[in-house]
Amino acid sequence: MTIKGLIAGLALMGLAGCGVTEVDAIRTIEPAGTDFSKALTREYQELAVFEADEMYDWISAVRYAEKGLGASHNEIVLPFELSDFYLPADKIDVLTDARADLLTVLNASARAKVPAAAAYAQGKFDCWVEQQQENHQFDHIAACREAFYAAMRIIDAEMTLRKKAEPTLVPIPAAPKPLKFFSVYFAFDSAAVDQTARDTLSRAIMSVKQYDTPVMIIGHTDTAGPAVYNLALSKRRAQAVADAFIKSSIPETRIETQGVGEADLAKPTDDNVKERLNRRVTIGIE
């Protein structure tokens, strides 16, 4: 038996009847409930299995497993309470502010409007708290912290966009020019506009012709491949969509393009993950 195996065995013996069943259960759980509950279950499932199998930290594994099982039953599972952890004094303020910000967006309907990003943010916040208590794996602390803030930026952008897109009730609207928003998706490592994308572009072009308004075209990629390459690919995708607008007699002066590469993922993932939802160009017509 290896040393790791011995440690794992001793941990299991010490925790028999004290949460190991929860860790076993979370491994094969089938999430139920809302999209947010399902996504949150998967976040805690991943954390619990990692802590159990890779770190042999059964206390943390059980904590995550219990939260994941609660989420799988569609229960309201909140981020970790900081008072339950022994945290470095100089880290309490920033974690307190981060938790408050997270609860603000969760209570402002992020669970319903951007469930995947909201669940990812909560999972990474709890990971940050748990790692900060241990306070020795500084790369793990930084990874969880930065992933949390990245998810919060995505939530903020998506919630702001959705808020702008919702019609505003006014007594007598005069020549309304609502924001129109379209997403065009691309094959892996491609900037070619396929038939499905052309169908979406046709609808977007009709909207542009209806309103004499600016058009903002932003290219995105998933995280597979080098970041520098993906930035260039995102610009090519944006330009491909812009070219389609120009060929349809949309004045180039009304079009602004930008490529952001792996930034602002529609579906947060780890690095080097192929994800169709992130291989996109967004078209904003104001």
Closest CA relative to residue 107, chosen from 122, 127, 89: 122
Q: What is the pLDDT of residue 172?
A: 42
Residue 140 and residue 187 share a domain = no
Q: Which of 142, 164, 186 is the last residue of a domain?
A: 164
Residue 194 within any structural domain of the chain: yes
Enter the pTM of the model. 0.55
Residue 95 and residue 29 share a domain = yes
Q: What is the pLDDT of residue 135?
A: 92
Q: Which helix (H) or strand (E) holds 215?
A: strand 215-219
Q: Which of 134, 164, 194 is the last residue of a domain?
A: 164
- Residue 274 Cα distances to 13, 115, 259, angstroms: 40, 20, 18
Residue 158 and residue 255 share a domain = no
Q: What is the pLDDT of residue 121?
A: 92
Residue 209 and residue 153 share a domain = no
Residue 211 within any structural domain of the chain: yes
pLDDT score of 83 more than 90:
yes
Residue 90 and residue 181 share a domain = no
pLDDT score of 16 more than 50:
no
Residues in the chain, total? 286
Residue 184 and residue 239 share a domain = yes
Residue 249 and residue 149 share a domain = no
pLDDT score of 103 more than 90:
yes
Do 196 and 254 form a contact (C-beta atoms < 8 A)? no
Residue 170 within any structural domain of the chain: no
Residue 34 and residue 73 share a domain = yes
Q: Which of 144, 164, 184 is the last residue of a domain?
A: 164
Residue 179 and residue 146 share a domain = no
CATH no. for residue 258? 3.30.1330.60
Q: What is the pLDDT of residue 30?
A: 83
Separation CA 198–CA 279 (nearest Å) = 15
Phi then psi for residue 279, to 5 deg, are: -90, 85
Phi then psi for residue 137, to 5 deg, are: -95, 85
Structural domain total, the chain: 2
- Mind listing the pLDDT tens digit for each residue in 239-263? 999 998 899 888 888 888 888 898 8
Q: What is the pLDDT of residue 209?
A: 81
Residue 169 within any structural domain of the chain: no
Closest CA relative to residue 153, chosen from 105, 108, 185, 107: 105
Q: Select the more confidently predicted residue: 123 or 184.
A: 123
Residue 149 and residue 20 share a domain = yes
Do 185 and 279 form a contact (C-beta atoms < 8 A)? yes
Residue 120 within any structural domain of the chain: yes
Residue 39 within any structural domain of the chain: yes
DSSP 216: E
- Mind listing the pLDDT tens digit for each residue in 29-39? 888 889 899 98
Residue 222 within any structural domain of the chain: yes
Residue entry with tokens 């897109």:
165
Residue 223 and residue 97 share a domain = no
- Mind listing the pLDDT tens digit for each residue in 116-130? 889 999 999 999 999
Which domain range does residue 85 map to?
3-164
Residue 268 within any structural domain of the chain: yes
Residue 147 and residue 15 share a domain = yes
